[in-house]
Chains A and B, each alone.
Chain A
Amino acid sequence: MKRFGAMLMCMLMLGGCSRKQSAESVSLRVWVGDNADIPWMEQVIRDFRAAHPERQLDIRIGVQNEGDAAKVVLADVQSAADVFTFADDQINSLLNAGALMPIQEGTEDIRNANTPESVAAATGPDGQLYAYPATADNGYFLFYNSAYITPGDVASLESILNRAAESGKKVAVPLANAWYLYSFFAGAGLDMHLAEDGVTNLCNWNAADTPITGVQVLSALLEIAAHPGFVEADSDAFVAGLKDGSIVAGVSGTWNAVVAAQVWGDHYAADKLPTYRVADQDVQMASFSGFKLVGVNAYSAHAGDAMDLAAFMTGYDAQMDRFAMRRQGPSNVAALASAQVQSEPAIAAIVAQAPYADVQRVGSKYWDAAAALGKIIINGNPEKTPLQTLLDQCVAGVTAPADQ
C-alpha cells in the first residue's frame, strides 16, 4: 500500500529542509502504565518543555498498563502511541512485529547510566538497544514479618515454613503462577529460555541427565505444597492474608511493599529469596528480574522528538521523581545509589536478589503450560500421574511452536 504520509515526508526531505520540526508543531502521544503515573508524567513533560523551549510540542498522555502494552501496540502499531512504557518481557514480541524503533542517538550514555541487567533487558537479539530502561523493580523477593520470622530463619524456605507453621501462620508462595514457578526450576539449575527464533522456548525440565532432575524438583515442590505452613496466594490473596494476619511471609514484588509496610509497621522486612531443599541440597531460589522500559514506536511520524522525550522520561531526574512519587525502583545507577533509594527495604531486597535473577525472555507458550503444572502441584497431583509424565506434558506445551 502506498503510504502517503511517508511519501510526503520523503518529498519534504528532498526539498532539502533540515531540522524542519524545530519550527513546526510536533504532536506526540505517550502512554504511561497507570493513572497514578499521570502527575509524574505531567511533571516530566513540564520539564521537557522547559528544556526545549524552541520546539512547539503538543504532548498527550494516555494510560496503558505496562503488562498489556504489547497486546495493544500489536493490535494496531500505526495507531499506537509514539512513546510507550512496557514490561521488558514483551520486547521480543514487539521486535517481532517491528514495533520498536532502534535507539539512534546517545546509546552509549544510556548503556553507561543504567544497570547492566536493565540495559541487557532493553537490548534486542541483534545487540542493538531498542528501549530506554525506566525502572528496575519488576522482580520478586521475600517479604516477612520479623515478629514471627527472625532474620536468621530467612535463609531457607523450610525454616520459614516451619517457623510460620509453629505459630499457626502461613507463607504465601504463588506456585500456580508461571512467573514464580520458574524460581524453583531455575534455582535447581534447570533451563527454560527463548530459542534463537525469538518466539519458541527451549526447556529441559523433563531431562533425566541434569545434576538435579525436574522430577526431583517436582517432588520437592509437592512436599512444600503439602507443608502446613504453605499457602498458595496470588497478589490479591497475599494482600488479604497480610491484612487478616494469617500470612507472615511471602514471595511478592514491590507493588505490595506499601501495603506490607503499613500492616507490619516496624516488623516489615524484605530480603532475597531463600534456599529450598531438593535432592538433599539447599539451592538458592532464582527469579525473573523485570524492568519497565520506554519504547519509541517505529511508525511514529516524529521519531526524533519521540526519542528525545523517551530519553528525558528515563533520565536521572525523572527516575528520582518516579521513586519519590511512585516508590518505583530506578534502573539508573546514580539514582539507585542514592541514600533515599537505598533505605527502602524492598529495593534493597531486589538488589540482593539480582545475582540470582534472570532477564525474562520467554515465549508466549510458557505461561499457560507452566501454570497448569503449578496448579497440579498445589492440588497435590490428585490423579497420581507419574511426575515424569507431568513434566513431559508441560515441556511439550512450553516448547510448542508459537504459531499454533
Chain B
Amino acid sequence: MRRPCHAKENALTSFMQGDVWVKLSVLIWGAGCFAQGQIGKGLLLCLEEALLLGGVILTWPSVMKLPTLGTVQAERVWDPVSRRNVWNDYDNSFLILLFGVVGVLLTGTFIVQCIRMMKHARHTQRSAAAGIAPAALAEDITRCLNRDFHRTLLTGSIGGALLVLVIPLLVMVLVAFTNYDRNHLVPTNLFTWVGLENFKLLAGLGTSSAFGYAFPRVLGWTLLWAFTATLSCYIGGILLAMLVNSRRTIAKPFWRTCFMVAMAVPQFVSLLLVRNFFADVGIVNTLLKAWGVTDWLYSIGAIPTANVIPFLTHPDWARPMILLINFWVGVPYQMLIATGILLNIPGELSEAARIDGANGLQVFRHITLPYLLHITAPSLVTGMVANINNFNVIWLLTRDVYITTDQTLAAAGTTEVDLLVTWLYRLTQDQSNYKMASVIGILVFAVCSVLTLIAFGRLVGRGREETFQ
C-alpha cells in the first residue's frame, strides 16, 4: 500500500486545522473513522476507548488518594444479632498504591491515545482529501497478520510484561518511599509517604545507626562472597573437567557420571544434609572430637570453645565453610559446561602448538584458557549476579544455626554471613519491615546492574569476537 506523504503537523496544528470529525475524535476515538465510512474500525476504536475509560474511572478514586495513601482507618463494629462484624468503608493503603499506579498508567495511556486518535483522524482526513481511499477493516487485519505481524506478536508479550513485571516492580519500588512496616500493616493500619527517610536510615543518618553500620558490612560480604564463589567454582570446574578429559585418565565416563550424580540431587537436599554434617552436634564434630582433632585445635587456640568446632556458628569458620560447601555443590555444574567447551576446541590448534614444541602448560595458557574465557565470559558475569542473589546456599546453611556476636548487626536484624538478599528476607519475614526490604532490594538491583554493565563492557564488549584467534 502506498503511504500518503503529508507535511509534518504537531498535535495542536492538527487539531486546529482538522475538520469537526477530527476535533470530535479526541472525545470519540472512532469519529474520524466514521467520517470516512470505516464503521467497523470506528467501533473497535470506540470499544478500546470504553475499556480504557472504564479502567480509568474504576481506578480514579485510588489515583485521587495517592498523595496521602488513604485517610480512613478501618473500624469494626460487632453486630450481636447477625453475629458478624460490620466494617466501615475504610482505606487500604496498599491497594490504593497498587490501583493508583495502575490508574496513573491507564490515564497516561488514555491521554496519549486521545492525541494519537486525533492525529490519526486528521491523517485519514488529509488522505481522503488527496483522493486516497481509506483502508478497509479487512485490509487492516491482513496488514496486522502480515507486514505488521511483529507488532501483533509484541502487543501480547509487552502487555504481559507490563502486567506481571513492570507494575509489581513499580509498586515495590514505591514502597521504599513509604513507612510500610509492622506498625503500619494493612488493612487495619494506614501507611503513607515518607520521602527519602528510609534511604537516610540505611546511610546511617537516622536516629538509630544500626542500619548504617550493618549495610556496608553486609554489602562487603555480599561482594566478597559473589566474587570468590563465582571464581572458585569456575576455576575448580575447568580444572576438574581437564582432569577428567585428560588423555591419561581412564574410565572417563565413569568419573563424569560420578559428578553428574552429585548434580542430580536437588541442591537444597545436599545443603541441608551438609548443614547437619557440620552442625555443632553433627557427625563431623563427633568424629573430630573422637580423633582428638578438636582438642588439638582448642589447645592451639584455633577455636573459641572447647569440644566443638564452630563450622557454621562462628564468623571466622562459617564464611570459609560456606564458600567451601558452595564450591563442592557448584563445581560439577561448571565441570559439565567446561567439558562441553573443551571437547569443542579444535584439535588442530593444540596439535599445531605441540608440533611447534609447546608444552602442556603453554597449550593451556595460550589456547585452552583464552578459548574457554572467550566463550564463558558472559556466563561468568551472570554467575556473579546470580551469586549476589544466592539465597539458597546462605539461608539453608545458616538459618537458625548462626547467631551473631556483633551486637550492632543483631540490632539491625542481620548477621556476618547474611547476603543483602537474605537480610531482605529476614526483614520481610521476621519483622514485616517492607520499607527497608524495598530499599535494600533497590540497592541490590543497583549493585547488580553496575557490575553487569562494567563486566559486560570489559569481557564481552565490542570487538571481542575478533580477539580470539
* A residues apposed to B, CB below 8 Å: 1-3, 6-7, 9-10, 12-13, 17-21, 71, 74-75, 77-78, 93, 96-99, 101-102, 104, 176, 199, 231, 233, 236-237, 240-241, 298-305, 307, 364-365, 368-369, 371-376, 378-380, 382, 390, 393-394, 396-397, 400-404
Contacts and interface: CB of A to CB of B under 8 A. Distances in A.
Contacts of B99: 1
A368 B304 contact: no
B189 interface: yes
A180 to B, nearest CB: 13
A199 B189 CA distance: 15
B182 A364 contact: yes
B405 A240 contact: no
B411 A6 contact: no
B281 A401 contact: no
12 contacts: A6-B86, A13-B81, A93-B432, A298-B188, A303-B84, A369-B411, A371-B410, A397-B407, A400-B210, A403-B179, A404-B206, A404-B436
Contact of A176 (B185, B208, B403): B403
A104 B405 CA distance: 46
Given A97-B188, A364-B431, A372 B403 contact: yes
B304 A13 contact: no
B146 interface: no
A364 B433 CA distance: 11
Interface string B69-96: 0000010101111111111011110011
A245 B357 CA distance: 67
Contact of B79 (A13, A240, A371, A379): A13
Contacts of B181: 403
A3 B411 CA distance: 39
Contact of A10 (B86, B189, B207, B208): B86
Contacts of A102: 78
A71 B79 CA distance: 29
Given A74-B432, A402-B182, A403-B181, A2 B408 contact: no
Interface in B263-293: 279-281
Given A240-B281, A364-B182, A369-B411, A298 B82 contact: no
Classify the interface of chain A: helix, strand, loop or mixed. Answer: helix
B430 interface: yes
A267 B211 CA distance: 50
Nearest to B99: A1
A404 B207 contact: yes
A101 B85 contact: yes
Nearest to A305: B83
Interface residues of B, number: 57
B187 interface: yes
Interface string B391-421: 0000000000001111111110100000000
Nearest to B279: A236
A243 B305 CA distance: 23
Contacts of A369: 407, 410-411
B359 interface: no
A298 B183 contact: no
B291 to A, nearest CB: 17
Contacts of B80: 104
A403 B80 CA distance: 37
A264 to B, nearest CB: 19
Among A7, A20, A98, A390, max chain B CB count under 10 A is at A98
Contact of A365 (B82, B185, B307, B411): B411
B413 A368 contact: yes
Contact of A396 (B85, B188, B280, B411): B411
Contacts of B211: 404
A390 B85 CA distance: 49
Contacts of B406: 372
Contact of A71 (B91, B95, B430, B433): B430
Given A298-B76, A403-B183, A379 B82 contact: no
A96 B189 CA distance: 9
A401 B431 CA distance: 12
Given A176-B403, A241-B281, A397 B210 contact: yes
A248 to B, nearest CB: 16
What 4 A-B pairs are tightest by C-beta distance, nearest first? A304-B83, A98-B188, A397-B411, A372-B410
B201 interface: yes
Contacts of B92: 1
Contact of B411 (A19, A96, A400): A400
